[in-house]
């Protein structure tokens, strides 16, 4: 089998950039990069290209930004490139069978979990939220399902106690590039043996919306800690004190008994904010109030009075 594969790369966010970089530095040839259209961003709503496009332009690659992957003109473009592989990393759209059938060898997806666990668009966040101790990267041969294709390669990555979705995201982005190149190397050496997933063991990682970050104080403190970590930076873990929305960034559990209802501020040391949960106490270490500044709790409490008995909802 030839070993200088022709690749069409499909990806959009910064998460996909390390994989494109790995391909660029490999022996494999990227003939086309497909990414989402430029979109307005920020308060000024300026039109901004996606990170993958910026990188592709720097490397001198041909770039396509279709508004729909189902148009005949886009499908014809892919066919004209005669790819051995279409490599997909967080592109942002489900591909129709008409595209999956184009590459000579197959379409490969780089997914941020150890499949079949955490199929879906938010595997990094849900792994942390659910208290997992490790996750990883899986490359699969894509089929018409959501992350259901045969497994090519997998590599694990530990989830550390202080990891947030942001820190784990960065490490998995780099690992994804390494696993993809090893996957292609296996194909080049004719040593690849795809393995069907055990669908009975599948779990889902559904898309997260902004309101999904609201803290349920009746959960155990340890679960709330994982929830805050998994929701950081997006969509962000938050609670309400009256009408004020507060965003939590860092918390820790305190083993102590209390008969206060979940969400109630309880007595603690000076410069400390302890909140009753469904099991144990939660100490809030970093918080953001309506001022928009992320603060250590001692700095936050200088301007906000939260005596015992106050409640979060």
Residue 284 has phi, psi (to 5 degrees) of: -85, 120
Q: With pLDDT > 70 as the criterion, what percentage of the chain qualifies?
A: 99
**pLDDT tens string 231-265:** 999 999 999 999 999 999 999 999 888 999 999 99
For the chain, give every domain's residue range.
Answer: 6-201, 210-303
Q: Are 89 and 110 in contact (CB under 8 A)?
A: yes
End-to-end Cα separation, the chain, in angstroms? 61
**pLDDT tens string 13-31:** 999 999 999 999 999 999 9
Residue 42 has phi, psi (to 5 degrees) of: 80, 180
Q: Are 33 and 56 in contact (CB under 8 A)?
A: yes
What confidence category does residue 1 fall into, taking pLDDT thresholds of 50, 70 and 90? very low
**pLDDT tens string 64-76:** 999 999 999 999 9
| Cβ atoms < 10 Å from Cβ of 198 | 10
Q: Please state which architecture CATH assigns to domain 210-303.
A: Roll (3.10)
User: Going by CATH, does the domain composed of 6-201 fall within 3.40.50.170?
Assistant: yes
**Predicted model pTM:** 0.95
Local structure of residue 278 (DSSP, 8 states): S
């Amino acid at each position: 089998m030839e070993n200088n594969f022709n690749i069409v790369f499909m990806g959009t966010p910064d998460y996909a950039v390390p994989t494109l970089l790995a391909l660029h530095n490999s022996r494999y040839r990227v003939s086309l990069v497909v990414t989402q259209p430029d979109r307005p961003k920020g308060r000024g709503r300026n039109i901004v290209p996606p990170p993958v496009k910026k990188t592709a332009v720097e490397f001198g690659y041909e770039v396509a930004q279709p508004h729909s992957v189902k148009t005949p003109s886009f499908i014809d473009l892919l066919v004209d490139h005669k790819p051995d592989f279409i490599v997909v990393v967080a592109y942002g759209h489900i591909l129709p069978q008409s595209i999956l059938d184009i590459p000579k060898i197959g379409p490969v997806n780089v997914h941020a979990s150890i499949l079949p666990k955490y199929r879906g668009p938010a595997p990094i966040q849900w792994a942390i939220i659910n208290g997992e101790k490790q996750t990883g990267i899986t490359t699969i041969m894509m089929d018409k399902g959501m992350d259901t294709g045969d497994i090519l390669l997998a590599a694990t990555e530990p989830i550390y106690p202080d990891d947030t979705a942001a820190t784990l995201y960065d490490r998995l982005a780099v690992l994804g590039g390494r696993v993809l190149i090893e996957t292609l190397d296996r194909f080049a050496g004719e040593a690849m043996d795809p393995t069907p997933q055990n669908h009975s063991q599948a779990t889902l990682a559904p898309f997260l919306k902004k309101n999904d970050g609201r803290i349920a104080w009746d959960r155990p403190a340890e679960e709330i800690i994982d929830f805050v970590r998994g929701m950081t930076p997006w969509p962000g873990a938050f609670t309400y004190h009256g009408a004020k929305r507060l965003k939590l960034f860092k918390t820790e559990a305190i083993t102590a008994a209390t008969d206060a209802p979940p969400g109630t501020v309880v007595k603690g040391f000076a410069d400390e904010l302890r909140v009753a949960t469904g099991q144990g106490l939660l100490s809030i270490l970093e918080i953001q109030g309506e001022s928009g500044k992320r603060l250590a709790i001692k700095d936050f409490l200088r301007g906000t009075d939260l005596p015992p008995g106050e409640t979060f909802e």
